Amino acid sequence: MEPIDHIAPGANPMIMPRENTVQEVAARLGEATPPRLVDVREQSEYEIVHLEGGQLFTEALIGEMLAGWPLDTPIVCYCHHGVRSMQAALFLAGKGFTDVASMAGGIEAWAVRIDPALPRY
């Protein structure tokens, strides 16, 4: 993956991703056009627990996103605690995506506040 400070030609470097609480993400998932969930953790973490519909942020997915996803696609990135997801959201915003958010607190906060049945690690 390219460094996150690389700005794509034509992208607006002033677009900053939002940080959504887990409650906001849960509400957004119930909307008519729910966001795409992008899981930026390692494969081993994904295998322990992931959100339904979450896609692992692999090189293949990055290529698919850059080649075919409309730049206004709603995207929520998540990780374990919310740090890596903000880095990924910044990367995507730098590539021109305009509706990108990072899930504050990550899947840990989701398990605590939204779905306590999820495994925690």
On whether residue 4 sits in a domain, the answer given is: no
With respect to residue 120, please indicate whether it lies within any of the assigned structural domains: no
- For residue 92, the domain's CATH number is 3.40.250.10
pLDDT tens per residue across span 40-94: 999 999 999 999 999 999 999 999 999 999 999 999 999 999 999 999 999 999 9
As a whole-number percent, the residues of the chain with pLDDT over 90 amount to: 87
What's the Cα-to-Cα distance from 104 to each of 2, 12, 23, 83, 109, rounded to whole Å?
Answer: 24, 23, 10, 8, 8
Residue 48 is assigned to a structural domain of this protein: yes
Residue 4: per-residue pLDDT: 44
In DSSP terms, 55 is beta-bridged to: 38
Query: What is the value of pTM for the model shown?
Result: 0.88
